[in-house]
Amino acid sequence: MIKYNPKNWFKLIFALHKSDTIRILWKEIIYIGLFTLGLTYLELNYVDLDKLPLEKLIAVYSLIGFVISLLLVFRTNSAYDRWWEGRKKWGSLVNDSRNLGIKLSIIVPDEEHRDFFRRMISNFTFAVKEHLRENKDLDQLNLTESEKLFLTQKEHVPNAISQLIYEKIIALKKEGIISSEEYLAIDLNIDALLDSLGACERIKNTPIPFSYSLFLKKFIFIYVTTLPLAFITIFGYYSALIATFVFYVLVSMEVLAEEIEDPFGDDANDLPTDQLSEKIRDNLNEIFKN
């Protein structure tokens, strides 16, 4: 995730970051520019514009543009809602990891067990991060050889790690180190971690309906490519430039919405899950520090 100063207007305006939609769409912008320029040329040279009431199309295209703007507002709002919900769930992961770590650091006196929980709680968040990116990188985890062998055989690493944590807690409960009341309190935090994982999976695995996305893309394309019909009698060849600029604005909104609706990757506008995982690990190292 990019850190920036929103008050620095001129630096943001003239910066060309890799996430800028101009860099993403420059080929499509050129194609649309050439297409609309060719369409404008054909209209000016091979069509009798005086016999066509093209100037009346401006009102029609203004109405259609208003409809497109409403669709894009809904699109970007729904995408941002997914982004913000993902951020809240990662905030819950941070809080529940701390709460679980603090409880276990006080309840469990044995250094070996304390080290296990310190490693495994932070391992869970790193595994969640990679799982949401459809990766399985065990090298990021702090594991013993037996633990690594166990997780290598598992497809869903976060679930397997929570299983190891539960096994250890049940064993400590049977030994009398953890009481029934303490177990219930710990169980709530582990359930909360798994609930946050499930919510993030729901966000990732439920994209915007295909028919809606397809309709919006076709709607924008038809609107932009036929836009010179409405403006050619007024602006001439400049109508191709207007259509290209409108294409850039509308499609940029759609591209940004597509990027933030899945906020768990490593794109510029995605959530800082790497930093949050490191933060959780640092917090747990401090909590369990003697």
pLDDT number for residue 13? 61
pTM: 0.85
Tokens of 219: 């709607």
Share the mean pLDDT of the chain.
87
pLDDT per position as a tens digit, 202-241: 999 988 888 888 899 899 999 988 888 888 878 888 988 9
More confident: 246 or 7: 246
The whole-number pLDDT of residue 12 equals 59
Structure confidence at residue 3 (pLDDT): 61
Question: What number is the average pLDDT over the span 244-273?
Answer: 88
263-275 average pLDDT score = 88
Residues 64-101 have pLDDT tens digits of 888 998 989 888 999 999 999 999 999 999 999 999 99
Q: Per mean pLDDT, which range of 8-22, 160-174, 199-213 is the poorest?
A: 8-22
pLDDT for 225? 87
